[in-house]
Structure 1
Amino acid sequence: MNGLTGQKMQKIFRALVPESLYNDARNLVEYCCFRFLSRDNADLHPSLKEPAFQRLIFITMVAWENPYLEELVNASEKASFQGKLVREAAFVRIAPAISGVADQPTVHNLYKALAGDEEGISLSVWLTYISELLKVHEGRRSYQIREYPQLYEERILCIASSSKRPVLKWENNMAWPGKLTLTDKAIYFEAIGLLGQRDPIRLDLTRHGLRVEKAKVGPLGAVLFDSAVSITSDTESKLWVLEFVDLGGEMRRDVWHAFISEVIALHKFIHEYGPEDGDESLLHVYGAQKGKGRATTGAINSIARLQALQFMRKLLEDPTKLVQFSYLEYAPYGHVVFQTLAVKYWGGPLITKLIEGGNQPTRGVRPSEEVLESSNHVFDIDGSVYLQKWMRSPSWVSSASIAFWKTSSVRQGVVLSKNLVVADMTLVERASKTCKQKYNDVEKTQATIDAAMLKGIPSNIDLFKELMLPLTIIAKNFEKLRRWEEPHMTVSFLAFAYTMIFRGLLSYFVPFALIVMAAGMLTLKGLKEQGRLGRSFGKVTIRDQPPSNTIQKIIAVKDAMQEVESYLQNLNVTLLKLRTILLSGQPQITMEVALVLLSSATILLVFPFKHILAFLLFDIFTRELEFRRDMVKRFMTLLKERWDTVPAAPVVVLPFDSTEDQSRSETETKETKDQEKPERSLKNGKV
């Protein structure tokens, strides 16, 4: 790589590091690789276009993983390396050092995507990944010239336009097909009408308060197709809903959700962790004016990698784990990784001497004595400074942040640049490692929660409520109709119901309902086979119970048991009162109830059923109207008073008899043995 012999590189490396580091062959591999990579600071390393360099990087990762060869490999295996696999540790160490290939926060997830079900990354997968990545970057350059030459201040990232897989923009329950273009600052939609393409509309993604979420869409307001994203703002009520039609599933939508999320998260990061626009202190730090561009390049490269994986069909279930800003926004310890990225992007050597008040100790490494007067600046591992006045985010004063920056000055290896350190880790790498560990802990904890979600009374009650939700919604909507909250809907329902009654169509209602149900089930079956309903369709989702200690759990169980006991008591009292009425425990009330039953039977015999049903419907839908409200209220009060006068049937509780319980258990045991004897004889008679 470096144009020097192996012995010459060993001598140089021996002179730079102590003996403890020199004796580790991996450190020599890192030094040879990182020294060559440190020569170029391009957004995408130019040597990646060379097939020899691509293979050399793969060989370097294999050598880093196996620096000591116990026996010589045969010539064919040595020449091809087809049987070799790069494991996670080697990929995580080498790949982020190459510009554009990977970044530290998401390199572990990138490895999982490339490796898939295999034990590592093969040479063919590695070469395919680099090839697809280069195609993405080449395609972007052609987009910039051909599609929107007027967008010279924005960089086009990706375009969605296909007749087979269109993009639909939903407005007022109407879907408009068109071409979608994503840049590093905005998203453009160019609708296709009957008269051709319309002028593109623009949504600025740099604004504060934007949110992008997965959504379901469908005709006439139905939420049926799980293939859309919605973009909303805290300041504006206008909503963008974009559907990414894909008969193969919702992965296309998930990828575009990650694209848009990454651009929004990028500008949130710049707003929170970067200096303000026009800040004069940017002139005091060399290269700080390019910090915003470096951060943008990081997001652009993340999206390019995700596009390459999409073309390779090697995506994770959640594509946002492959783009760093969106991933870190919700990852544990992500704010500390954001801070290290800010120091990486905006940090640099001091051009002028800064004198600021305050005597608190400096965080990080101090590059020289002249900056000792600047008290609260943060320093990178190579001595680059990140000024105190740029620390506008509240996360800088968190306990995790303070603890991290207190130990950030400890270093052991050879620093070639802020991004390349031999035999040690950069600040971003240290923070990302802790972030990954905490994320794994969260996933393990979540797995235990998922396994125990349905244990306990509260969770089962929540599950029952969720399962009964459709019936609850139907009951609430019927109650709205009954109370005339929407008069036009109530009138329409009554007109439909009375038409069914007096036209003699009630006999067709049940068969028609069964036909509609069967058609709906078959439609859902077809849509699910096409993948348009999403992987989560049909799953029952309930909220987990809030965290609690043992005493709180005991109290919660006690309260739940008291509620169940109260419900059973009320139910038993009702049943005992009905028993009193049926068995003439209160003769006067029994007589009244019997007369009501006889009158009802007479009415059913004399009058046609459709007239009775029409009258009951009239009664139900006029109870809340003004001309009947008082009468119904008086009638219900009378019924309640009569019900309260009904005594409960007497209950006798006998004392516990141990002899009776023992004889009962002996009888059950004898019956069980008698049942087992024929079974044994049948088994013995079989050949």
Structure 2
Amino acid sequence: MPMSSKTMNMLEGLVKDSSFKWLLGKQSSFDEEIEEMGRSPSAGTNWIPELSPVANVVVRRCSKILGVSANDLRDSFKQEASESLKQPSLFARNFLEYCCFRALSLSVGVTGHLADKKFRRLTFDMMVVWEVPAVASQALLSVEEDATVSIEAFSRIAPAVPIIADVIICENLFGMLTSSTGGRLQFSVYDKYLCGLERAIKKMRTQSESSLLSGVRLKKEKILEIDGTVTTQPVLEHVGMSTWPGRLILTDHSLYFEALKVVSYDKPKRYDLSEDLKQIVKAELTGPWGTRLFDKAVSYKSISLSEPVVMEFPELKGHTRRDYWLAIIREVLYVHRYINKYKITGLARDEALSKAVLGIIRVQAIQELSLTNSMCYENLLPFNLCDQLPGGDLILETLAEMSTSREIHRSNRSKDTAGTLHSSASDMVSQLGSVFGGSSPRSRTSEKTSSLVLGEVVVGDVNPLERAVKESRKNYEKVVLAQETVNGVKMEGIDTNLAVMKELMLPVMETGNVVLSLLYWDDPMKSTVFCLFTSLIIWKGWLVYVFALASLFSAIFMVLTRCFSKGKLTVELKVTAPPPMSTMEQLLAVQNGISELEQNIQDGNIILLKFRALLFSLFPQASEKFAVAMVVAATMLAFVPGRYLLLVVFVELFTRYSPPRRASTERLIRRLREWWFSIPAAPVILQHDDKNETKKKK
């Protein structure tokens, strides 16, 4: 009784002081509910003293959904949670998450819950209250601003409803939703986003229930997107030199194209995305008569096709349509690669497909908001993002391990009828009334899991998937910083890049000049000492230690440089800019470069053709000498120890230009050159491809 009376007095005081006007700056649902709680005779059983007033309001809503009192929820939490979750400093937030997750687990089972504004408001209020769960934390928020949500709160609550967000793309989604609101999520934007999700779900459901592709698609195959039905936004298929307008349809297994006839569509062509056919889907350039002018197409290539197929998405400005289709096609392709790689089967396979489907639904909802002019669709699709992030393979590996463990748990608990809080992506698709799940909806009384786990989020803890995503994002930030430096040092112009390369190669060139000086015996004393010292190293078999010492000295140099350069700027490479070149000079330089490249290719071909002539004895006398030389070399390789052979080769090569041997070396090189020039090249006959000629005629 004293506790109940104390609670009633607190509630009456809050109502009189209008303590909840901090949230919206006007009469809000919190004010109304606190007044209702003050008048309710059961206020004592629905008030948790450790929670802030607004947190108590949210817990009360959760208790209404669950049909139990707040105190009963607290007792359940104390029984199920570990001691680390019940620490005084963590109790408020962990208990709030526990109540929210349990209520959401039950709420998402209602068909069409996204259309319910109360549900949308509840999920947003959960995020708001997550930032101020404890009784002493409410004063941290400004009372003059509308309630907004941080990325931390969004990342904890939103993934509990798989249709709203996914652990992998949660931060990117939040960044997209808050691109115009300074990094804080407003309810107006959040509400529009959830309404967009509802419309995208209805659209996808209508498409899948239609008669499209009824004669060719599989029983479980569901339609995800259609394009090319509007004459102002056609889709063009390019195969070889032929081009056909038509309708493009993406399902969760394949890509279909129906060529447009006079009054109907032709039989659809199927391009498989589910089987391992070494598919390559990439952006492509198209243009009239095979030219590559317009960056508005997607290329599909696989081992089942003789040549790539190109789908063009014409539009007056930009290539937004192409980027969208490229992203969603790759998402379906990548999810099937994930399924095939980790051999995902059963309900886990349906969950993986559902994760990809929900990602596409989110992209469609974000498109309706028109928050930004440019949108990177890959960042909102989980399997696309894993393909880009460093360590994305580790994220997929963790996801596969979690799916496998859930599958094992389901099989072990199949006969248990206790309630569960586990909400997977596959459940969500089924609960929304759509038909995308590959299997029948899973009963909520079919297995038993901890009430501290909801899908991919855990009360008061971070699951392995979240840890893998955070680690990958840290590495991605390093990659972004490194890429910024790379973009900063990219130079324009051939002459400028050659000047930079020359400056970078200067130490190597100087070292090469020193070696050449020793090789040509410009200073006989230095060359003699170097020859004797290197010969001793080879004779003793110390060559491997020389390379080891070189690696060790390089490591020591890097460590010393790091130690002595703390707090100092990085030494920049200074390059003398070459004199500016006119357009004509640049064209001449390019022409000269191409001519030199052509000459080098010709010389290379001649060398190869002469070796071919030697191999097939087109010049018998030269071939005999070459064969004898190869026999001698093979005999030495077979019977002479390696280090002795290396020593002989080194001494022979290094002493060629020594004073005693210089004259004989010049005579030998002259004889070898004359012998090489006397060898004829093997003949070459150019043949034209008949297939190409036939295509050109067509």
The interval holding the TM-score normalised by the smaller chain is: 0.5 to 0.7
Q: Are the aligned partners of 1:82 and 1:123 in contact in 2 as well (CA < 8 Å)? A: no
Between 254-263 and 165-174, report the one with greater CA deviation: 165-174
Conserved? CA contact 2:297–2:310, under 8 Å: yes
Matched ranges for 1:253-402 at <5 A:
253-275=322-344, 289-314=346-371, 317-348=375-406, 350=408
SS in 2 for 1:105: coil
Q: Distance in 2 between matches of 1:353 and 1:111?
A: 36
1:302-352 C-alpha deviation (Å, 9 max, x unpaired) = 111111112222466421111111211232111111012112333336489
1:188 partner amino acid: Y
- Rounded Cα–Cα distance in structure 2 between residues aligned with 1:240 and 1:414: 50
Change (3 A) 1:423 1:141: same
Q: 1:266 offset after TM fit, Å?
A: 0.9
SS at match of 1:181: strand
Q: Judging changes above 3 Å, is the alpha-carbon distance between structure 1 residues 86 and 556 closer, same or farther for their aligned structure 2 residues?
A: same
Tell me: CA distance 1:138–1:69, structure 2 relative to 1, closer, same or farther (3 Å).
Answer: same
Structure 1 residues 241 and 212 mapped into 2: Cα distance closer, same or farther (>3 Å)? same
Gaps of at least 5 residues in structure 2 are 1-61, 414-421, 425-449, 514-598, 600-698
CA distances 1:2-43 after superposition (whole Å, capped 9, x unpaired): 33333332333234335653322221221111122334786x
User: Which residue in 1 is equivalent to 2:688?
Assistant: none
Matches within 5 A, 1:159-308: 159-161=226-228, 162-194=230-262, 196-208=264-276, 209-234=278-303, 236-275=305-344, 289-308=346-365
> Alpha carbons of 1:267 and 1:41: their partners in 2 closer, same or farther (altered >3 Å)?
farther
> Within 2, Cα distance between the matches of 1:67 and 1:464?
58
Q: Which amino acid aligns with 1:7?
A: N
Structure 2 CA distance for aligned equivalents of residues 352 and 250 of structure 1: 45
Distance 2:299 2:96 in 1: 48
Q: Secondary structure at the match of 1:347?
A: helix
Letter in 2 for 1:429: E
For the 8 Å contact 2:395–2:465, the answer to whether it is kept is: yes
Could you say which residue in structure 2 is the equivalent of 1:87? 150
The superposition leaves residues 194-246 of structure 1 with CA deviations (integer Å, 9 ceiling, x where unpaired) of: 45421211111113211111111111222221111111124533211111122
Distance in structure 2 (CA, Å) of the matches to 1:432 and 1:87 = 19
Q: Residue 174 of structure 2 corresponds to which residue in structure 1?
A: 111
**Count of residue pairs the alignment pairs up:** 407
- Letter matched to residue 505 of structure 2: A
Give the Cα–Cα distance (whole angstroms) in 1 for the partners of residues 402 and 282 of structure 2. 30
Establish whether residue 142 from structure 1 lines up as the match of residue 206 from structure 2. yes
User: Match for residue 585 of structure 1?
Assistant: none
Is contact 2:240–2:307 with CA below 8 Å preserved after alignment? no
Aligned pair 1:29/2:96, yes or no? yes
Using the alignment, how far apart are the partners of 2:512 and 2:288 within structure 1? 43
Q: Is the 8 A contact 1:210 1:232 kept in 2?
A: yes
Residue 14 of structure 1: aligned partner: 78
Contact 2:246 2:258 in 1 (8 A): yes
For 1:345 and 1:41, locate their aligned partners in 2 and report how far apart those are by CA, in whole Å.
21
In structure 2, C-alpha distance between the alignment counterparts of 1:248 and 1:112, rounded to whole Å: 26
Residue of 124, 129, 135 corresponding to 2:188: 124
Amino acid at match of 1:107: C
One-letter code of the match for 1:214? Answer: A
Give a deviation string over 1:559-593, Cα, whole Å, max 9, x none: 578999xxxxxxxxxxxxxxxxxxxxxxxxxxxxx
CA contact (8 A) 2:239 2:307 kept: no
What letter is aligned with 2:393?
Answer: H
C-alpha distance in 1, partners of 2:162/2:209? Answer: 24
Conserved 8 A contact 2:132-2:138: no
- Whether the 8 Å CA contact 2:348–2:404 is kept in 1: the answer is yes
Q: How far did 1:158 drift?
A: 0.7
> For the structure 1 residues 464 and 235, does the alpha-carbon distance in structure 2 shift closer, same or farther, using more than 3 Å as the test?
farther
- Paired with 1:193 and 1:430, the residues of 2 have a C-alpha distance of 53
Instruction: Name the structure 2 match of 1:609.
Output: none
Give the match for residue 664 of structure 2: none
Name the amino acid aligned to 2:456: N
Structure 1 distance, partners of 2:451, 2:479, is 34
> CA separation in 2, counterparts of 1:34 and 1:437?
28
Is contact 2:256–2:269 with CA below 8 Å preserved after alignment? yes
* 1:64 maps to 2:96: no
Please give the alpha-carbon distance, in whole angstroms, between the structure 1 residues aligned to 2:83 and 2:408.
33
Structure 2 residue identity aligned to 1:34: F
> Following the alignment from structure 1 to structure 2, what is the Cα–Cα distance between the partners of residues 352 and 59?
33
Q: In the superposition, relative to structure 1, how do residues 558 and 250 fare at CA in structure 2: closer, same or farther (>3 Å)?
A: same
2:292 alignment partner, SS class: coil
The equivalent residue for 2:487 is 450
SS in 2 for 1:117: coil
Q: Which residue of 2 aligns with 1:435?
A: 472
Q: Distance in 1 between matches of 2:128 and 2:233?
A: 40
Q: 2:505 aligns with which of 553, 556, 563?
A: 556
CA contact (8 A) 1:334 1:435 kept: yes
- Which amino acid in 2 is paired with 1:131? C
Give the 3 Å change call, closer, same or farther, for CA 68–45 of structure 1 in structure 2: farther
Q: 2:20 matched to which residue of 1?
A: none
Question: Which residue type is aligned with residue 133 of structure 2?
Answer: P
Structure 1 SS opposite 2:154: helix
Identity of aligned residues (%): 30
Q: CA deviation at 1:423?
A: 0.4
AA of the residue aligned to 1:97: A
1:174·1:219 contact (CA, 8 Å) conserved in 2? no
Contact between 1:418 and 1:426, CA under 8 Å: does it hold in 2? no
Is this contact kept in 1: 2:180–2:371, CA < 8 A? Answer: no
SS in 2 for 1:247: coil
- For residue 153 of structure 1, the aligned residue among 212, 220, 223 is 220
* 1:38–1:416 contact (8 Å) kept in structure 2: no
RMSD, aligned CA = 3.8
Contact 1:159–1:182 (CA<8 Å) still a contact in 2?
A: yes
Instruction: Please tell me whether the aligned partners of residues 160 and 455 of structure 2 are also in contact (alpha carbons under 8 angstroms).
Output: no
- What secondary structure sits across from 1:187 in the alignment? strand
Check 1:338–1:20 CA distance in 2 against 1; reply closer, same or farther (3 A cut).
closer
| C-alpha contact 1:414 1:421 (8 A) present in aligned 2 | no
Checking the alignment, whether the CA contact within 8 Å between 1:274 and 1:342 is kept in structure 2 is no
Q: Is the 8 A contact 1:274 1:346 kept in 2?
A: no
Counterpart code for 1:325: F
- Please say if residues 179 and 189 of structure 1, whose CA atoms lie closer than 8 Å, have aligned partners that are also in contact: yes
Find the aligned partners of 2:257 and 2:125 in 1 and give their Cα distance.
45
Q: Verify: 1:3 aligned to 2:67, yes or no.
A: yes
